[in-house]
Amino acid sequence: MKVKKKVEKPNQISSTALKSQYDLIVVGGGAAGVAAAIMALRKNMSVLIIEHTSRILSKVLATGNGRCNFTNYKLDKTAYYCDDLDFVDGVISDFDANAIVEFFKSLGIYPKDRDSYVYPSSDSAKSVVLSMMMELDRLSCHIAANTKLHDIKKTGDEYLVLTNEGKFRTRNIVLATGLKAMESTGSDGSFLDICQKMGLGIKKVLPALVGLGSEDPTIQYFEKIRVYAKVSLIIDGKFLASDTGELQFNDDGLSGIPVFQLSHRAVEAIYQGKPVILDVDFMPDYDREEVLGIIRGFVGKFKSKSCLMALIGLFNEKVAMGILKKAKVNPDSSLEELSDQAILDIVKTIKSDRFVLSTYKGYEGAQVCQGGIRIDELKPNLELKKYKNIYAIGELCDVDGICGGYNLSWAFASAHKAVESMA
């Protein structure tokens, strides 16, 4: 494999000299596909990666804000969305966080543990990408870059893979194309057409780990603000889940890790036309009565202070201003001017500020997608029930995780499961 020496494009590739037959063909050069290729090459299998762009591992470069959170020591099935969590457990228990760490050590990447979130010691996704690419090179992996797969045909005990660059024969195929998240990296979902042609059941593909949109005009009071808060998801009037962390307000919605953690359910409900509300608690470490006591204490002690100046001991000035505007309280009015109802309105806004969610960001803004090949189409080893020796791994499967290295963990664990099942 030849790598162009350009710092800004460390994952740039060009096609190698190709053969007509391989032990394994991997369709897709993302994290799952490249991991599967490395694992198969280490079993002395000949491997061809078919990638429809000129780069591999593009999403990996962007993970963890460029630092690559590649697994989590708290890896557990409850961190995933799937119709069959026991199915997920059967995959990740065979190749757990410790196994993933050892895999990366074998590539020269040593871990850095940050409260169970595992990063490379270099804190650089680029080092992960380069190490995986060098291993492909060392093991003489063949890569067909800028190559589009047209069809897969069964011929006896083998498969004939048809592409714009020619025909290739193989006994084993790994499908690792991903879905549509981060479209600019090449994830356009085009392979789903072939999946449907193969008669595979596909669950509706939607963004996940994505920002959520609101048409509530009061959201502008908090525009471009980051604040520590607890957010709770309410669908059809029922509290479903909550998460706490740094919340980010945009001019048309909300994002940040706590929003991403709830986005799977929120996006699904918005798509289905259900009423969706995000409840924001700006002081999650204090209950309502404690907050009420604090505000009343301010009123009693700092009567001449403006409401805005009183709240800057609790929030930064922008957050305080937004809370007062949302509570319909003049920020310049003095505390002694506050009515009992105004005090209650301020407390209500602090502890339970609600925004109706009406939209969600598109695929380009999503870190991962929900949906894909239905789990009931797969055997426990990720082999397609309808096609012997064809495996689906990574994001292409209807499995997606929350933030924290869980989606990359699924990518690596599913790659291991598939490769270990090959004769």
Each residue's pLDDT tens digit, 82-107: 999 999 999 999 999 999 999 999 99
- Whether residue 222 lies inside any domain: the answer is yes
Q: Does 229 reside within a domain?
A: yes
Q: How confident is the model at residue 14, as a pLDDT?
A: 67
Domain co-membership, 384 together with 349? no
Paired strand residues for 359: 213
The number of domains in the chain is 2
pLDDT at 1 over 60: no
Do 152 and 237 lie in one domain? The reply is no
For residues 295 and 223, membership in a common domain is answered with: yes
**Which tokens belong to 315?**
């929030």
- Give the model confidence (pLDDT) of 363-401 as tens digits: 999 999 999 999 999 999 999 999 999 999 999 999 999
Statement to judge: residues 68 and 191 lie in one domain: yes
Residue 3 has pLDDT above 50, yes or no: no
Taking the alpha carbons at both ends of the chain, their separation in whole angstroms is: 26
**Of 322, 342, 361, which residue sits at a domain end?**
361
- One domain for residues 69 and 181: yes
Q: Which domain holds residue 348?
A: 211-361
**Neighbour-count burial of 224, counting CB atoms closer than 10 A to its CB (0-12 exposed, 13-18 middle, 19+ buried):** exposed
Q: Is the pLDDT of residue 2 over 60?
A: no
Dist. CA 45–CA 172, nearest whole Å: 10
Q: Do residues 122 and 41 both lie within one domain?
A: yes
Q: Are residues 197 and 285 in the same domain?
A: no
Cα–Cα distance, 132 to 109 (Å, whole number): 10
Which of 318, 337, 361 terminates a domain? The answer is 361
As a three-state string, the secondary structure of 139-194 is CCCEEECCCCEEEEEEECCEEEEEECCEEEEEEEEEECCCCCCCHHHCCCCCHHHH
122 in a domain, yes or no?
yes
* Model confidence at 15: pLDDT above 90: no
Q: pLDDT exceeding 90 applies to what percent of the chain?
A: 93
Residue range 41-51, pLDDT digits in tens: 999 999 999 99
For residue 274, being part of any structural domain is answered with yes
pTM here? Answer: 0.94
Distance of CA 205 to the CA centre of its chain: 14
Residue 363 CB contacts under 8 Å (≥ 6 apart), including other chains? 180, 181, 182, 183, 187, 189, 207, 369
Based on the fold, state whether residues 174 and 308 are members of the same structural domain: no
159 and 121 share one domain? yes
**Which of 321, 337, 361 is the C-terminal boundary of a domain?**
361
Confidence category of residue 150, pLDDT binned at 50, 70, 90:
very high
Q: Is 401 contained in some domain? A: yes
The distance from CA 68 to its chain's CA centroid, rounded to whole angstroms, is: 12
Give the whole-angstrom CA distance, residue 71 versus residue 74: 9
3-state secondary structure 245-278: EEEEEECCEEECHHHHHHHHHHHHHHHCCCCEEE
Q: Which residue has the tokens 């059809």?
A: 236
In a domain, 16, yes or no: no
- What does the mean pLDDT of the chain come to? 95
Residue 14 lies in a domain: no
- Could you tell me which residue, 13 or 314, shows the higher pLDDT? 314
Instruction: Tell me: do 189 and 217 sit in the same domain.
Output: no
Q: Is 90 exceeded by the pLDDT of residue 9?
A: no
**Across 119-140, average pLDDT:** 97
Q: For position 62, what pLDDT does the model report?
A: 86
> With 60 as the cut, is the pLDDT of residue 5 above it?
no
- The predicted-structure confidence for 206-219, as pLDDT tens digits, reads as follows 999 999 999 999 99
CATH of the domain at 217: 1.10.8.50
Within a domain: residue 247? yes
Residue/partner pairs of 94-98 with CB below 8 Å, 24 or more apart: 94/413, 94/416, 94/417, 94/420, 95/412, 95/413, 95/416, 95/417, 96/413, 97/71, 97/72, 97/73, 97/409, 98/73
| Neighbouring-strand partners of residue 154 | 159
216: its two tokens: 């509530």
Cβ neighbours for 333, distance < 8 A, ≥ 6 positions apart: 306, 307
Give the domain CATH number at 55: 3.50.50.60
Measured CA angle at 181 (ends 180, 187), to 5 deg: 50
Are residue 80 and residue 176 in the same domain, yes or no? yes
pLDDT digits (tens, 9 = 90+) for 252-272: 999 999 999 999 999 999 999
Domain check: are 234 and 159 in the same one?
Answer: no
